[in-house]
Amino acid sequence: MEENISEVDLAYQILSAAGKDNPIYFKNLIRQVIEKKNIAVQNEAVTISEIYTMINMDSRFQHAGDGFWGLTDWYPPETKRSRATTKTAAKTS
């Protein structure tokens, strides 16, 4: 069943099942997608980069900081898509 849906839809399902308080580190999330879709990987770094790019471009996903991703629905509107920028700005101050 997982083989018939897109990588980003599967990532969305994985995060939904994990729950609001459980953002997932991007490499772990993508490795779960690869495993569930049974993707043949010749170069893991390239495959991770490709799927990461798709997730990053999908507005359903929210960077939760330090490489972790959650779902946009988990966060209040004022923190959506700006949360990582705020954390980065705070670290550089």
List, for residues 44-68, the tens digit of each pLDDT value.
999 999 999 999 999 999 999 999 9
Instruction: Give residue 77's pLDDT band: very low, low, confident or very high (50, 70, 90).
Output: confident
* pTM score: 0.79
Q: How many domains does the chain have?
A: 1
Are residues 25 and 43 in contact, defined by beta-carbon separation less than 8 angstroms?
Answer: no
Could you list the residue range(s) of the whole structural domain that residue 27 is in? 2-92
Q: What's the CA dihedral at 40, 46, 51, 55 to 10 degrees?
A: 170
Is 6 in a helix, a strand, or coil?
A: coil
- 3-state DSSP of 18-62: HCCCCCEEHHHHHHHHHHHHCCCCCCHHHHHHHHHHHHHHCCCEE
Q: How far is the first Cα of the chain from the last one, in angstroms, to the nearest whole number? A: 47
Q: What amino acid occupies position 5?
A: I
